[in-house]
């Protein structure tokens, strides 16, 4: 359940005078609900009138759209919102918004009444549009994805991407996953429509994992993109850890002052900051991110940047100073964000990157733990619970080296051997960034790499650093 402090934080932000701040809030709420978080009945009672108010009195298509999207998670205690959609389906100016209204109504009305509402409103949607928009929310809509792809109607293509994005809704409503990652990948090479490609980038962004090679275009050609696609593309690229580690200079160029404040506008910076907020810690670009923060005037961007700083403040004195400053001097949304997230972020005892990692020249790998309530990392295998890392001392990196050597000896695959050798070389060079990058590539080959050996220390190290769950 969404806790009361977080919910009240969202409610206050939905009353904020800045439209962009309200859009970001609705997005955050939608993503939480999509992940399976729930609201209490009295929270829905509070939220529904505020949703309707935001929708009814806003000229911003995007704000209204996210309001409808959040509303699709409501049922039964939402009469005000349902009635609004019934009475205004034909009056909504944006076709995508009308399709989301149809989706919301299909979930909340019996089939016969839903079709009656459609017949009484000039909704200007095709049968295909409605079938795609309602597929995830009903047990009666049928969809022919192949036919829709051939017809290339932009709104239908947007919904094909959305169906691919919302696998969680499909699972919850016992609907088949009609659109795969391969389908999304094909779409990136088959259309130049900016809105459609925005939805495809968004769909990839919502998937649990992402590999840059799923895109049928070069990520380095981002300047050719439309603004909508670029916004979500910049959110997406942070999800591929290997791409980030292997292309630090590319990310530095994106974070350069000229690119941020001359080449792109605030909306696209929001996309870049949104992706950064959920990305791994990277020391190599820390200064660039702090410089960005120093010149930023968009409250939405600052909101995402502060999420990132707060998450990793135990790894950077600069981040810690920024969080402390905003706690004391920031505008209310930022101060409140720190307060709401304090318990879940500042003490990340089960999250990745609990540790400051230092490879010392004396042949020891020292693990320092800060702000840890538990003081150890456990390895769970069946009924076996073994403490591997504790606050009490150091671990010899030779232990990891010995385990890697054993894995290498028993490995039969040349590609796997190559990556294991790269990891060994990184250890020898005391280059932990390179070491972790090699381990990530090894893990991509699957768990069978470690199946024939005991590698408790190595496994614990990878878990502690977010390389494996």
Judged against a pLDDT cut of 50, whether residue 383 lies above it is answered with no
In which element (H, E) is residue 389 found? Answer: strand 384-390
- Backbone angles phi and psi of 374, in degrees to 5: -90, -30
Identify the pLDDT of residue 391.
37
pTM attached to this predicted model = 0.72
Judged against a pLDDT cut of 90, whether residue 237 lies above it is answered with yes
Return the percent helix, strand and coil in the chain, to nearest 5: 65, 5, 30
Q: Which pair of tokens denotes residue 408?
A: 């290498």
Whole-number Å distance between alpha carbons of 331 and 40? 29
Strand 364-369 relative to strand 384-390: parallel, antiparallel, unpaired? unpaired
Q: 105-121 burial string, b = 16+ CB within 10 Å, else e?
A: bbbbbeeeebeebbeeb
Count of residues for the chain? 469
Whether the CB-CB separation of 85 and 100 falls below 8 Å is answered with no
Give the contacts of 378 (CB within 8 A, at least 6 positions apart): 385, 386, 387, 388
Most confident by average pLDDT, 377-381, 384-388, 416-420: 416-420
Identify the pLDDT of residue 203.
96
Identify the pLDDT of residue 29.
96
Whole-number Å distance between alpha carbons of 306 and 322? 8
- Please choose, from the candidates 15, 32, 100, 11, the residue with its C-alpha nearest in 3D space to the C-alpha of residue 64: 100
Identify the pLDDT of residue 394.
46
* Phi/psi-derived region of residue 76, left when phi > 0, alpha when psi is between -120 and 50, beta in every other case: left
Q: What is the DSSP string of 45-100?
A: HHHHHHHHHHHHT---HHHHHHHHHHHTT--SS-HHHHHHHHHHTTT-S-HHHHHH
* Distance separating the N- and C-terminal Cα atoms of the chain: 23
Q: What is the spatial order of strands in the sheet that 364-369 belongs to?
A: 355-359, 364-369, 395-396
Strand 355-359 relative to strand 384-390: parallel, antiparallel, unpaired? unpaired
Identify the pLDDT of residue 64.
98
Identify the pLDDT of residue 448.
60
Judged against a pLDDT cut of 50, whether residue 355 lies above it is answered with no
- CA-derived radius of gyration, the chain: 24
pLDDT in tens, 150-194: 888 999 999 999 999 998 899 888 899 889 888 999 899 888 999
Whether the CB-CB separation of 371 and 348 falls below 8 Å is answered with yes
User: What mean pLDDT is reported for the chain?
Assistant: 85
In which element (H, E) is residue 10 found? Answer: helix 4-13
Whole-number Å distance between alpha carbons of 138 and 70? 17
pLDDT in tens, 88-136: 999 999 999 999 999 999 999 999 999 999 999 999 999 999 999 999 9
pLDDT, mean of residues 184-209: 93
Whole-number Å distance between alpha carbons of 221 and 467? 29
Identify the pLDDT of residue 450.
64
Judged against a pLDDT cut of 70, whether residue 369 lies above it is answered with no
The owner of tokens 């385990």 is: 403
What band does 462 get if pLDDT is binned at 50, 70 and 90? confident
Whole-number Å distance between alpha carbons of 14 and 148? 36
Judged against a pLDDT cut of 50, whether residue 328 lies above it is answered with yes
């Amino acid at each position: 359940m969404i806790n009361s402090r977080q919910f009240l934080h969202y409610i206050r932000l939905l009353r904020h005078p800045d439209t962009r701040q309200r859009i970001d809030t609705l997005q955050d709420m939608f993503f939480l609900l999509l992940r399976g978080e729930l609201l209490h009945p009295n929270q829905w009672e509070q939220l529904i009138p505020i949703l309707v108010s935001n929708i009814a009195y806003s000229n911003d298509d995007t704000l209204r759209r996210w309001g409808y999207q959040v509303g699709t998670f409501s049922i039964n205690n939402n009469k005000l919102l349902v009635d609004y959609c019934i009475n205004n389906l034909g009056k909504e100016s944006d076709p995508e918004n009308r399709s989301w209204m149809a989706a919301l109504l299909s979930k909340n009305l019996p089939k016969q009444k839903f079709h009656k509402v459609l017949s009484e409103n000039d909704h200007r949607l095709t049968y295909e549009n409605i079938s795609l928009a309602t597929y995830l929310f009903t047990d009666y809509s049928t969809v022919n994805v192949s036919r829709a792809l051939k017809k290339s109607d932009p709104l239908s293509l947007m919904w094909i991407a959305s169906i691919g994005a919302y696998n969680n809704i499909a699972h919850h409503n016992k609907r088949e996953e009609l659109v795969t990652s391969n389908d999304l990948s094909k779409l990136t090479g088959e259309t130049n429509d900016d809105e459609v490609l925005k939805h495809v980038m968004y769909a990839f962004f919502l998937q649990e994992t992402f590999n840059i090679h799923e895109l049928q275009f070069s990520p380095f050609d981002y300047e050719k993109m439309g603004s909508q696609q670029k916004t979500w593309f910049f959110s997406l690229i942070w999800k591929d850890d290997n791409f980030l580690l292997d292309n630090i200079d590319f990310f530095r160029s994106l974070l350069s002052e000229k690119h941020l404040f001359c080449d792109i506008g605030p909306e696209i910076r929001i996309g870049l900051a949104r992706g950064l907020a959920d990305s791994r810690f990277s020391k190599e670009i820390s200064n660039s991110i702090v410089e960005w923060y120093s010149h930023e005037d968009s409250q939405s961007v600052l909101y995402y940047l502060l999420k990132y700083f707060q998450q990793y403040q135990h790894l950077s004195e600069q981040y810690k100073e920024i969080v402390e400053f905003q706690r004391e001097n920031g505008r209310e949304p930022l101060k409140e964000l720190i307060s709401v997230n304090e318990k879940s972020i500042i003490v990340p005892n089960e999250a990745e990157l609990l540790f400051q990692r230092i490879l010392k020249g004396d042949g020891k790998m020292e693990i320092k733990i800060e702000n840890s309530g538990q003081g150890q990392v456990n390895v769970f295998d069946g009924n076996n619970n073994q403490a591997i890392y504790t606050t009490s001392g150091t671990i010899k990196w030779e232990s990891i080296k010995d385990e890697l050597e054993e894995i290498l000896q028993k490995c039969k695959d040349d590609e796997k051997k190559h990556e294991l050798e790269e990891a060994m070389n990184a250890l020898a060079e005391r280059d932990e960034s390179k070491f972790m990058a090699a381990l990530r590539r090894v893990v991509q080959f699957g768990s069978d790499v470690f199946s024939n050996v005991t590698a408790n220390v190595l496994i614990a190290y990878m878990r502690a650093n977010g390389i494996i769950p």
